[in-house]
Amino acid sequence: MPRLDLGVALVIFPEFVDLLDDLDDHLDAYEVEPQTYWLPTGDRGRPWRADLALFEHLAGRGRPIVAHGVSAPVGGSAPPDPRAVALFAESVQHLGAVATSEHLGFNVTTGADNVEVGLFLPPCPSEAGAAAAARAVAAYQQA
Length of the chain: 143
Of 54-63, 98-107, 112-121, the range with the highest mean pLDDT is 54-63
Sheet holding 99-101, edge to edge: 9-11, 29-32, 65-68, 99-101
* SS3 state of residue 68: strand
pTM of the complete model beyond 0.85? yes
pLDDT value of residue 21: 95
Residues 6+ apart with CB under 8 A from 121: 105, 106, 107
State whether residue 29 is helix, strand or coil.
strand
Which class for 44: exposed (0-12), middle (13-18), buried (19 or more C-beta within 10 A)?
exposed
- What's the pLDDT band for 1 if we cut at 50, 70, 90? low
